[in-house]
Amino acid sequence: MRNTISFLAALAGLSACEAGSGEEVTRFAPEYEGVETRLLDGDLVNFHVQMRGARDTGDIDRYAACAAAQYALIRGYGFARHVRTNVEEEGGVWRGDAVYTISAALPRGLKTIDAEVVAADCAEQGIPMV
């Protein structure tokens, strides 16, 4: 009986680890706490996003990109271009202040997004949008 309990305890410990890595796996369980959108000038839009449980700045960047994609679609545009994102974290709360341009045609630049493709991916990933 004692061996069975020890074996089950060992199994429970292993289930929290990646196979062979010896490190605990942390489940990604973000809490998306909202998006605030401000039209700055014509096609320039500011998105303030907030979440808990982000793994890194990439998670807050994705949240802002999802908001930008949906906003572009709502306005009848097909594309957005990332201008900048400022991210801060305090006490487990991550805040992003992102600026995008939106446009009907594919804008110049490296950080462009196809709003339909990004919005569909965000919906599939469970990331809320505007």
Residues of the chain with pLDDT under 70: 1-24
pLDDT digits (tens, 9 = 90+) for 33-66: 999 999 999 899 999 999 999 999 999 999 999 9
DSSP 110: S
**What pairs with residue 50 in β-bridges?**
34, 95
Give the number of other CB atoms < 10 A from CB of residue 95.
Answer: 16
Task: Tell me the β-bridge partners of 98.
Answer: 47, 85
pLDDT reported for residue 24: 65
Provide the pLDDT for residue 7: 31
Rounded Cα gap, residues 119 and 66, in angstroms: 6
Instruction: Tell me the whole-structure pTM to 2 decimals.
Output: 0.78
Instruction: Look at residue 130 in the predicted model and tell me its pLDDT.
Output: 77
- Residue-level pLDDT at 27: 86
Domains identified in the chain and CATH numbers = 28-125 (3.30.1360)
> What DSSP element (H or E) covers 62?
helix 57-74
**pLDDT in the model for residue 62:** 97
What does the pLDDT read at residue 22?
A: 56
Q: Do 24 and 15 form a contact (C-beta atoms < 8 A)?
A: no
Cα gap 111→75, rounded to integer Å: 20
